[in-house]
Amino acid sequence: MSVPRNLKRMAAPAGMLAGVASAAWFRRSYLRWNASDAEVEDRLPGDDFLQVADLQATRAVTIKSPPDAVWPWLAQMGQGRGGLYSYDFLENLAGLDIHSADRIHPEWQDIKPGDRFHLAPDPSADLEVGLVDRGKALVLRVRPDSPPGPFDFSWAFVLRPQPDGTTRLLARERYAYRKWWTRVMVEAVEVASFIMSRRMLKGIKTRAEGTAQMPDEPIREFPG
């Protein structure tokens, strides 16, 4: 039995529409992984570094520890310090020389605004510590003295205590584009950022909860 010609004509547009809808759903998911509607919409510390953001990603995880137990892991982050608690082997394939710590180092706890935050051995990749609110928020940003790049950027880590004694850790990235072509680059980067950030949040969760190895249990996702 042959397929009616009008159905054949409809098949291609329908397939394209389904593909676009799937891509839109995936993009929405990785830009707000495990974050509630309220968390996505809330204004967070560091948002004022970029008054207008062309792209914003907010991701979150619940940690079964109070903020004071989570903060030391944030304070010591960075290349040459506590690492980023993500996929070290992937970062090191890119020559970043990242080695994530599995214990709190007292010598790396003194972090303050204006400090350089190393992402790689190359100092040109450094960010600046823009805000430190101990036990509550750490915000990184593009160094004001850096040569203008294709975008401005801020990266916030916010700790919110919960009534049951747990902590919500929110990680927010904000981008302000400076070039017309920056959007294409950042959209591609954000897929990789989602993979690495998800692992980072789980890595911080595991360490702050005092678990010896990475958890395999699924993390509950918020709808949307």
Sketch out the chain's domains with CATH numbers.
34-208 (3.30.530.20)
What's 83's DSSP letter?
B
Q: What are phi and psi of 41, to 5 degrees?
A: -85, -20
Q: What is the pLDDT of residues 131-182, one digit of tens each?
A: 999 999 999 999 998 888 999 999 999 999 999 999 999 999 999 999 999 9
Burial class (CB in 10 A: 0-12, 13-18, 19+), 222: middle
User: How far is 124 from 169, CA to CA, in rounded Å?
Assistant: 28
Q: Say which DSSP state 193 is in.
A: H
Q: In the block, which residue shows the tokens 């070290």?
A: 88
What is the rounded CA–CA span in Å between residue 47 and residue 38?
15
Question: If we measure between CA atoms, which residue out of 68, 31, 12 comes closest to residue 175?
Answer: 31
pLDDT in tens, 58-117: 999 999 999 999 999 999 999 999 999 999 999 999 899 999 999 999 999 999 999 999
pLDDT one-digit tens code per residue, 25-51: 557 788 999 999 999 999 999 999 998
CA distance linking residue 96 with residue 171, whole number of Å: 21
Contact yes or no for 87/196 (Cβ under 8 A): yes
Angstrom CA distances, 152 to 78, 114, 178, 193, stand at 20, 17, 7, 16
Q: Is the per-residue pLDDT at 8 higher than 50?
A: no
Compute the CA torsion angle 139, 57, 142, 206 (nearest 10 deg). Answer: 50
Is the per-residue pLDDT at 13 higher than 50? no
